[in-house]
Structure 1
Amino acid sequence: PQVFIPGQIPSLRVLAGGAFGVLVRTVLSTLANIAAIAIIPYLMWRAPLTRQQRTLGWWLLITQVIALLLFTIGRQFLQPSFITLVLGSTYATVYAAAAYQQRLLGGGKRYIRLQPRLTSLLLTLILPVLVFLTVTANGLVHTLTRTNADARLHDTASLVANEVQQWLDFNAEALRNMAQQPEIVSMDPALQEPILRSMDASHNYMYLVSTTDVLGHNVARSDGAAPKDYGDRLWVQKALRGESPVLQVLIGRTSHQPALVMSTPIRNRQNNIVGVAMFASTLSDLSNTVLQARVGESGFAYLVDEHDLLIAHPKMSGALLTELENYSGASPISALRTANAPNIYTTYTDTDGITWRAYATALPNGWAVVMQQPVEEYLGVARLFTNLSIALVVLITGILLLLIWVTVRQVVAPVEHLTATAQRIAAGDLELRVPDADQDEIGALGRVLNQVTARLRDAIQELETRIAERTLALERRTAQLQAAAEVGNAIGTIRDLDTLLPQVTQLISQHFGFYHVGIFLLDDRGEYAVLQAANSEGGQRMLARKHRLRVGTQGIVGFSAFTRRPRIALNVGEDAVHFNNPDLPDTQSEMALPLIVGDELIGVLDVQSTQPNAFEEEDVETLTVLARQVATAIQNARLVEETRRLLEAQEEAAGLQSRRAWRRQVETLIHPVVRRTPAGLEHPQETASSEVPSRVEPTQDPEDPHLLYVPLRIGGVFIGHLQARKPADGPAWSAREIAFMRTLSDELGPALESARLYQETQISAQQQRIAVDVATRLRQNLDLESILRTAVHQVQQSLGLPEVAIQLGGLSDDEAS
C-alpha cells in the first residue's frame, strides 16, 4: 500500500499515478492542443507564407482539431489504441506532405542537386512511416499485454472470490441447519451438547461450537469447558437482532492467526429468537486458497473483511499476530470502497517505488479479494519488443540510406547526361541526338527526346504554315463580323416591312457571297412559312407564285421552323429533309435559321450556296447573330406599323367627335359669320360652308388674287376658314404674309376650341344647378298636387319656357298590377 510520510515530497511517478495526475495530464494535453489551434491561424495570418505553406498550415490546424476532439470526447467512446492509431496516421500523413513540399516543391530546391534531394525525400517519406508502424506495433503489443494481464488478474481474483464465497456459504448453511434442529431449539444443554460435538467433529477447522441464550450466557459448548458470558460480543448482539449469518474476524488466542466467528439466531416454532448458535474456526483453508493464487512470478492475492481488516496475505504466513492490520489505506481497497463498485482495476506505486496493477472485487458480505502484479513484470516482454523494434528501425534506416543513395545515383547519372543534351538542344542545336543504347526508362526518355527534337523541327515549319492559315481565317472572320455589323446598321434604320425584307436579302447576299437569300414569315395560323423576300431570280419567281412551305413537313425551312433550331445541309443531295426546288437548281449547300423574338417564332432566314460544304462554324455563329438582328428588325417594323395604325384610328375618332361638337356649336350660334370691313363689323347670314370648300393650306382665289382663304383647323378637323382681302390696287399676297396668316389661323383654332369647351362647361354647370334647385324645392312638399305645381313652375321659370305640362295616367290594368 502507498504510505506518505509527513515531511517528504512524493516522487513524480507517485503523483502522476493518482487521479490528480490523470487530471493534470488531461488538462496539459488539452491546453497544448488549444494553444496549437490558436497559434497556427495567427502565424498563417501574420507570416508571409506561400500557397503551399498555407495549405500545410490548414492541414496542421485540422490535425490539431482532430487531436483535441479525440482527447476530450473520443476517449469516452474509443479505445486508447484506436486513438493512437488515428492520431499517428494523421500526423504521419501531414508530416509526409510537409516533407514532400519542403524537399521537392520548396523554394530551395533549385540550389540542391537531384541526388541528395531525392535521397532525403525518400528517407523523409519512408522513415516516418517506418517509425509510425513501429510505434503503432509497440502500442498494440503494450495494449495486448495489458489486456492479457488484466484478464489474468480478473480470472484469478474471481476464482479466489468464488472459493471464499463458497466456503462461507457452505458453513453458513451448516450453521443454520444446526440451529434449526429440535434439540438446539429446545435450549436444553443435555440435548444440545451431542449436536454441538458432532458439528465440531465433522469440521476439522472448527475449534468451538456453542449456543447462548438471549442474554448471551453459554447454554452448551462442544469443548466441555465451563459456560461463559458472551453478552458483550458483537456476534451475539447482531444475531439477537435477527442478522444471519453474522461474521466476525479476530485473532485466535492460541494460534495467533486470524480466526472466524460465525453466528446465527435460534428461532422456535413461533419464529421467536430464543438464543444464538455459533462456531469459531481457523481461516487456514481460506488463507491457503488466497496464498496459492499466483499470477506470474511476483503477483499475489490478499483478502480483507468488510472493515478492511487483513485476513489473508503472503506477509502473514508464519507470523504470530496480536491484532488484525487495517488495510483501508491500500490503493486497491481505497479505490474499491471509493468507487462503491463490485470490482475495479487500479494502478499504483508503493513505497518501494514498485508500480502494481491490481484487480479488486467485493463479495456480497463486504469482504474483498485483491489480485495484483508488478507492471514491470508483465510489461517485460513488451519492453523487450520495443527495444528490438528500435534497433531494427535504426538498422533498416541505415540500409535504406545506402540502398537509396546507390539507386538514386544510378538513376541520376543518365538524367544528368540527358539534361546536358537537352540544354544544348534548347540553345538551338536541333541536329543533336542522344545515343540510343539503354532499353530502360532513361533510354526511352532519350529516344523521346530525339523524337521531340525531330518533331520540333517539323513543328516550327508547321507552325509558320498554321500562323498564315490562322491569319487568313482571322481576316475572314473579321470581314464577316464587319459585314454583319454593316447589315445590322442598315436594317436597323428601316421601319417599313416591305422595304426592310428585300433590303435584308440583298445586303446578306452582297456581304456574304450567297447566291440566294430568302426570308419566310409564318402565316396567321402558324401552319405555313410564306416567302416574303428573296434576292435571286429564282426567288423572284417563287415570290410571284406566293411560294410557301408547310411547317414541320416540307424542306429544311419547314424543319427549322418546327424545331426552332438551325438546320444545315452541307450537301443537299445527301440530306433527306432538303426540298428540291426547281427554281434554285444550282443549290449545293443550304442553311435555315429560325427568326425568334423572345419566345415567338416569326419566320425563317434561308441561305443557299452553289458550293458544297460552304458553311463553317464561324459562318453559323455570325449568321445566327444576324438572324436575331433581322428578327428584331422585323418585329420592330411590325410594331411601328401597328402603332401608326392605332394613332391614325385614334386621330380619326377624335376628329369625328370634334366635328360633331362643332356642328352642334355652329347650329346654336346666332352669327356664325363675322366680317370686318371699312364700314364696320357685319354679320352676314351665309354660312362658312357656302363660301368655299374645306382646305388644308391657305389658298388665293383663282379669280381674285387679292382674296386669301386660310383654313381653321383643330387637331386636323376643319371647322371654318379665315377670309382676308387686300386692296384691289395693292400687290398680291406674299409668302411671308401667307405664313403670318397661317400662324394666326393656328393660334385662332385652339382659342376657339377652348372657348367652346368653356361654354359647354358653363352650360353643363348651369343645368346641374337648375336640376339641384328644382329637386330641392320638390323635396320640400309632400302633397302630390303641390309637387306637380312646383315642378312645372320651376322648370318654366328656370328654362324660360312658354309652356310646361306634366300629365299622369294612361296605365293599363296589367301595368298597374
Structure 2
Amino acid sequence: MVRTNTPYIPQSQRLRRRAANRITLVVMIAFLLIGLLSFLAIRTVARDDLERSHVENLQSISQEIDTKLNQTYDDIQFLATNNTIRTFASAVQATERNSAAIESAQTALAQTFATALVRNPEEYLAIRFVDLNGDVWSEVRLENGTPHVSLNAEVSAQTNDAAFLQGIQTPLNTTTTGELRFLTYAGSDELVEPLTPFIRFMAPTSTDTDSMTTAGMVQIDVSLAQVLNILAADPTVAGVEGRRVVLIDDQSTLIADTSLTNANILRRIANGFGVSLESQLPDVARVISTSNDGIRANVIEGVMVSSLPIALNGTDGTPWSLLLMDNAGSAFDSATLNGILALLGSILLGGIVGVVLQSVLRDTMRPLDQTSMLAMQIADSAVDPVQQASVDFTESETEDEITLAIENLRRQVQSLSQTLDMRTEHYRHNLEIAARISRETATLHDISILIDRTLDLICDSFGFYHAQVFLVDDASVNAVLRYSHGSAGQRLLAQEHKLAVGSASVIGQVTATSEPVVVNDTSSATSGPHHFNPVLATTRAEMALPLIIGRRTIGALDIQSETANVFREDEVQIFQLLADQLAIAIQNARLLIETEARVEQIDRLNQQFIRSAWEKTLETGEIGESYYYDLMQVERGIPEDTGKGLRIPLTIRGVVIGELEANAGVDRKLSEGDEAFMRAVADRIGLAIENARLLG
C-alpha cells in the first residue's frame, strides 16, 4: 500500500483562506445585486417612459377631438340664444299665429342656419328648428356643398324620437347629444352611400319674450368623419408598431378602430349589430366599465391600455371614450435586452474583481498570524521574551500591522479615558447643582418656603418635571403628601393625596424599607412598583429617596421625569444628600415648633401664677391698692380730683397688676417724651413691686 503525505496547512493560513473566500464571495454578491438593480432600473425607466408617452399621446388625440366638438357646442349655444331663432320661436308659440310674421321670422332663421352651415361645410350636415311637439319647422341641409333650405313644416317628425324627448326636458343653456346616426335621403329612410355617420347636437331655446321657458329646440347634425380622420392621421398612432386606437360610444360599441376597417364597423352599426368592445377585448372592457374617469397605462393581459372620455355623451349621460393600446411585451423587449446585458456585465466584472481581490488578500494577509500574536501580547501586557524571539518577523511584512495594533490599543485607552472624564464631569456637575441648592436654601428659615424652593430647584436644575415630599403620619400608617411642585402638585395637595406605608408603590416601598427605589420605565410591568397617578399621567421614570432621622424614616422625596431611563445608579447618592438635608430641615422645624409650644405653655403658667399670687397679696392687704405723689409726699389712696391724665399699665410677665397715672395740670399737656419716660418708670415700678411682694 502506498501512502502519500498530505501537506500540513497551519490554522492561521486556513483562516486567511476562509476570510479571503468570504470577502470575495461578498464582493461577487454585491456585483450581482448591482446587476440586478441595474436590470430592474432599466426596466422601470423604460416602463415609466412608455407610460408617460402613452398617456401624453392619448391626451393629444383627445384634446384635438374635443377642440372640434367644443366648437360645435359653442355654435349651437350661439344659435339657441340668437334673437332671430327666439323671435321665430315666439311666432310659432303665439296663440293666434300670424302667417306673415311666421314667414318673415322663418326666412331670417333659415338665413342664420345657412350662414352657420356654410361656415362649417365639412363638419355640419344639417341645422333645424323643432318645436315642443316634435314638428320640424325649418331645416337647412348641405347638399353637394350648397345649402338646401326646407321651410315646410314636418308635423310630428320627432314626436317619438327618444333623443329629442330627452333633450327637450333639459334646462336652457345646456346641450345634449344623441346616439350615432347615419345620413339618409330627404323624406326617406334610405341610407346615403357611402355611409355618412353623424351625431345630433341639441340645445333647447326660448322665446324673445320669455327667456326662462323652453319654446323649442335647435339641432345640428355633425359629421363624425372629422373625428375618424383625426384617429387615422395621427402620427403617434401611425408611427408605432402594434399601437391601436379605439373609439367607443356610451354602450361600449366600437365606432372606430385603427386596427380594423372603419367602413365595416360602421356598416355593422348601420345594420343594427355593431361590434362591442367586450367581444374584441373582454378584459379591457371589464376594467374600463369600472372607471368613469378613464384609466392610465394599465397593463391588461400583456396590453398597456389608457382611456379618456371625450366631449360626447350618450342618451343616459355616459361619455364616449377613446382608448390607446400598446403591446407591452414588444415595448419592453429592448429594455429587457439592455437590462440583461447590464446584469451579465456586472457579473463578469464581479468575477474579475474577485480574482484580483483573492491575489491581493493572499499577499497582504500572509503575516496575519505573527501580527495577531504580537497584538495579543501587547494587549495582555505580558510579552514572553522566548515567544517573541520565536516569531520570525520581517519589517516589510509586519511593521504596518504592529503599528495598527498599537494604534487600536491607544484608541481603546483613549476612549475609556474620555468615557471616564465624561462621567466624572457629569458627576461633578450634579454635585455642583446639589451644593447650589444647599446654599440657596440654607438662608431660608420657614420650612414651607425652604422645601418648596428646594423642589423648584430640583426640577429646574436637573430638568425633571415634578418633585414632591411625603411625610409619614404619627401612626406610621400613611405617607401623606405635604409639599408638591407646580400646578399638578397643588391639585394633589387639594386632594389630600396619600399612600399607605408598605403599599405597592414607590413611596410605599421607600417608607417601609428606608431604601431608595428607582423605576426607570413606568410602562414596563417588571421595572418596579410604580403607582399610576392620573394627575401625573406622563411620568415615565420615578425615583424616591427616604427622609431619615436617626433610625426612623419620617418621609420620602419623590422625583419624576417624562423621559425613561433617566435615573442612573451612580447619581442616587447625590439626590440622597438632598433628601438628608431636607430630613434635617424638617426635623429642626419640628423641634422648633415643639420648643415654641413649650415656651408658650410656660409663659401661660407663669402668667396664671403671677395673677393668682397678686390676687392673694391684695386680699391680705400687705400692699395698698393705690398711692399718689403730689410732688411733696407719698400717700395712700386716690385724690378726689386728679383730672384727665396719662395712664400706663403696670405689667409683670404679660400680667397687668395695676397702672401708673400722671397729671400735668390744667395748663399743661404731657408730650410724647413724657409718655416714653412714664413707660420706663412703669416698667421699673412693676419690677420693684414684684420684688417687694416676693421679698415680703
State if a TM-score over 0.5 links the two structures.
no
Higher relative CO (Cα under 8 Å, sequence separation at least 6) belongs to 2
Answer with 1 or 2: which has the greater Rg. 1
TM-score (normalised: structure 1): 0.36
**Greater helix share, structure number:** 1
TM-score (normalised: structure 2): 0.42
